[in-house]
């Protein structure tokens, strides 16, 4: 018989997964690289991780499994996003850049390039998240239709 994880182990795992899920959104953000930004980003990452870990500590059973499914799914989407960014041809990636972030914040030079890269990263991540959501929704409907 399988022994369930202790609440401490579940909390730590949820915190690490949350850190991995949120880190790209904060660390890839096209902002000036200065000590205040870096420190603030790290503090925000730490707060997100602690919040998810404390929430996981209070959950049990099905709710905890759902939390881990969401966190694991987001982690998988982060990995797939990186793989797609490395494997898709440049002309296709160039069509994904609308330049919204660069224009919105008046960025130019390297900052505009960073904003375009972040924009493509977010679009791919959201696209994969949408596909994952549709697959989960369809699987849920199929499983409940048979029952």
Task: Render pLDDT for 93-102 as a digit per residue (tens, 0 to 9).
Answer: 777 777 777 7
Q: Is 4 within 8 Å of 59 (Cβ atoms)? A: no
Res. 119: pLDDT tops 90: no
In the chain, how many H helices and how many E strands? 6, 0
**Residue 2 belongs to a domain:** no
**Residue 21 belongs to a domain:** yes
Write down the residue that tokens 């049990």 correspond to: 60
Q: Is 97 within 8 Å of 80 (Cβ atoms)? A: no
- For residue 127, the enclosing domain spans 7-146
Res. 125: pLDDT tops 60: yes
Distance CA(42)–CA(35), nearest Å, equals: 11
Cite the DSSP H helix spans in 4-109: 7-27, 35-58, 61-87, 90-96, 100-104
| Structure tokens belonging to residue 61 | 């059973």
pTM above 0.85, yes or no: no
**Residue 12 belongs to a domain:** yes
Mean pLDDT of the 78-98 span:
84
Res. 107: pLDDT tops 50: yes
**Residue 1 belongs to a domain:** no
First to last CA, the chain: 27
Closest CA to 60 of 135, 1, 5, 130: 5
State the total domains in the chain: 1
């Amino acid at each position: 018989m399988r022994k369930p994880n202790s609440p401490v182990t579940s909390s730590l795992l949820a915190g690490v997964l949350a850190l991995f899920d949120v880190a790209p959104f904060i660390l890839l953000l096209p902002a000036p690289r200065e000590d205040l930004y870096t420190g603030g980003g790290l503090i925000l990452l730490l707060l997100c991780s602690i919040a998810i870990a404390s929430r996981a500590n209070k959950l049990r059973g099905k709710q905890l499994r759902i939390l881990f499914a969401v966190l694991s799914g987001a982690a998988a989407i982060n990995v797939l996003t990186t793989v797609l960014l490395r494997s898709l041809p440049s002309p296709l990636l160039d069509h994904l850049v609308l330049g919204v972030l660069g224009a919105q914040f008046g960025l130019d030079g390297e900052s505009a390039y960073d904003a375009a890269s972040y924009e493509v990263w977010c679009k791919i991540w959201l696209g994969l998240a949408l596909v994952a959501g549709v697959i989960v929704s369809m699987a849920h409907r199929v499983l409940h239709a048979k029952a």
